[in-house]
Amino acid sequence: MKDASYLAVMARRNEVMKRSVGIDYEEFEISPLAFDYERLMATTGYSLDDVYAIQRETQVGNTPLVELKNLTALARQLAPSGKGARIFIKDEAANPSGSFKDRRASVSVHHAKVNHYPGVVVATSGNYGAAVASQAAKHRLRCIIVQETFDSQGLGQPEIVEKGRACEAYGAEVLQLTVGPELFSVFLQVVDETGYFNASLYTPFSISGIETLGHELVMQLRVREGRDPDMVIVTHAGGGNITGTARGVRQAGCHAMIVAASVDLRGLHMASDKDFNRKAFTTGHTGFGVPFATKPDRSDVPRNAARPLRYMDRYVTVTQGEVFYITEALAQLEGMERGAAGNTSLAAAFVLAQQMDSNQIIVVQETEYTGAGKHPTAQLTLMQQMGIEIRRGDPQENIPGKVIVLPQHPRQMRVQEVDLDQLRRSYIKNAIASLEDSKILTDTCIDFLVDETRRDHRFVKETINLLKGG
């Protein structure tokens, strides 16, 4: 019997990850800091056409591209003359489990099947668990989902409870934990004991599954409108969504601006028991978006295939109240009731459309299904239960964890720009801190940092000199 203590399990981390993913990440290391990212992405062995074929087998993808004519009309009423871009939305709620996560689950579960793994396991509290469970059911594989569900008082986050119910409906075994550091060790122990495939959110298999979404939305718009989008807006959390979508958009030969959007939850700590139930969004927020942009390899695999800073052209935030408001507007103006978290990018699109010319096109890259625990009513009820003030007014008065302000008028909707250069400097700082000796920064390391931050050598070297006090 293997030692199942926390320290023993963590000590076997690299061995367990290598066996459960089937990737020897050391093969891609090219310096103490750098690795060959594109070669890692190619290691799946699946081309874009292969991924399309895999997804067709399990009814994933080919989701509708819907023009939001009524929301566009409202945006034009508020915009200066000649402004008000057309807003389209990719209705990913049409996927089998109701979100774009089916795309990333499809390749991982297919790979597990063809490589004769007895099952799949993943640590996730959101839509991805249901997607993996759904795909596992289609492939007749066993499935275990490990969730952080409760705070120390036993209070479950409604959306996470809802996703646990969905996972069980698809036949998965669900292990529900309280918030804390034990999630990863429990997950590792399950992977180690079962020999299941680690269907991590952050492998090349997962990211390649999202590439069809970016490619597909461009090709659909070309057929429908005879042109490419000017902007694609992506809800940003762990980075996989924007990475996969942007890669697919670029593979289609499209050079649309890629905008990341997150809910502003600054000041709340995602691993804090105190803060766990003081947020109305379990994903698509800055609590994941900023850390995963500035330190992507904090994931459950040695090298994260989601590298968001390589693909962001802009990064904006919106408030919780604004996302709930646009969720209601989507339902009442367009007849589409969809989950709030997936509407984060729609809230940003509604504002940005008013700044763009009326002959331009924005594509909001996803929707997600809604349900009992995911509905705004359930989330706002929990917030009231936690003592958070909820009122109508100016959403800029929102204070994460204390006050949620729903706009009184759509004119009050805004976005806040995130300073990408500040994130890039934070990334470089974290990367250098990971080195035992910063003096070993080679030209290869510098080139890698240039690619990771999408800035030039001068920016990277100046940042390094500032960090060293030079």
51-65 per-position pLDDT tens digit: 999 999 999 999 999
Do 68 and 214 share a domain, yes or no?
yes
Do 87 and 176 share a domain, yes or no?
no
Domain assignment present for 1:
no
290-346 per-position pLDDT tens digit: 999 999 998 889 999 999 999 999 999 999 999 999 999 999 999 999 999 889 999
Domain assignment present for 361:
yes
Q: What is the CATH number of the domain that holds 411?
A: 3.40.50.1100
Of the three residues 182, 204, 226, the one that is the final residue of a domain is 204
Domain assignment present for 404:
yes
Domain assignment present for 29:
yes
Domain assignment present for 368:
yes
Give the position of tokens 């000649």.
82
> What span, in angstroms and rounded, lies between the C-alpha atoms of 244 and 269?
27
Sorting pLDDT into bands at 50, 70 and 90, what band is 443? very high
Q: What is the pLDDT of residue 470?
A: 59
Q: Encoding tokens for residue 260?
A: 């990341």
> What span, in angstroms and rounded, lies between the C-alpha atoms of 357 and 385?
43
320-334 and 69-78 helices cross at what angle (nearest 10)? Answer: 120
Do 295 and 209 share a domain, yes or no?
yes
Do 189 and 252 share a domain, yes or no?
no
Given a cut of 70, whether residue 1 has pLDDT beyond it is no
26-55 per-position pLDDT tens digit: 999 999 899 999 999 999 999 999 999 999
Cα three-residue angle 464-457-452, rounded to 5 degrees: 80
Answer whether 395's CB lies under 8 Å from 319's CB. Answer: yes
Of the three residues 169, 185, 204, the one that is the final residue of a domain is 204
Do 230 and 355 share a domain, yes or no?
yes
- Of 228, 9, 238, 5, the closest CA to residue 104 belongs to 238
Average pLDDT over residues 421-446: 90
What φ, ψ does residue 357 adopt, rounded to 5°? Answer: -70, 150
Domain containing 433 equals 421-467
Three-state SS at 295: coil
Domain assignment present for 161:
yes
Do 34 and 126 share a domain, yes or no?
yes
Do 349 and 426 share a domain, yes or no?
no
Do 12 and 63 share a domain, yes or no?
no
Domain assignment present for 82:
yes
> What span, in angstroms and rounded, lies between the C-alpha atoms of 421 and 160?
34
| Whether the predicted model's global pTM rises above the 0.85 cut | yes
Answer whether 405's CB lies under 8 Å from 395's CB. Answer: yes
Sorting pLDDT into bands at 50, 70 and 90, what band is 208? very high
List strands edge to edge, sheet with 314-318.
65-67, 86-90, 361-364, 231-235, 257-263, 314-318, 416-417
Sorting pLDDT into bands at 50, 70 and 90, what band is 438? low
Do 200 and 339 share a domain, yes or no?
no
What's the gap between Cα 460 and its chain centre?
Answer: 26
106-152 per-position pLDDT tens digit: 999 999 999 999 999 999 988 999 999 999 999 999 999 999 999 99
Given a cut of 90, whether residue 10 has pLDDT beyond it is no
Do 292 and 431 share a domain, yes or no?
no
Domain assignment present for 351:
yes
Answer whether 84's CB lies under 8 Å from 358's CB. Answer: yes
Of the three residues 380, 400, 417, the one that is the final residue of a domain is 417
What φ, ψ does residue 177 adopt, rounded to 5°? Answer: -120, 165
Three-state SS at 138: helix
CB atoms within 10 A of CB 385: 10
How many domains would you assign to the chain? 3
CB-based contacts of 254, cutoff 8 Å, min separation 6: 218, 228, 229
Do 268 and 355 share a domain, yes or no?
yes
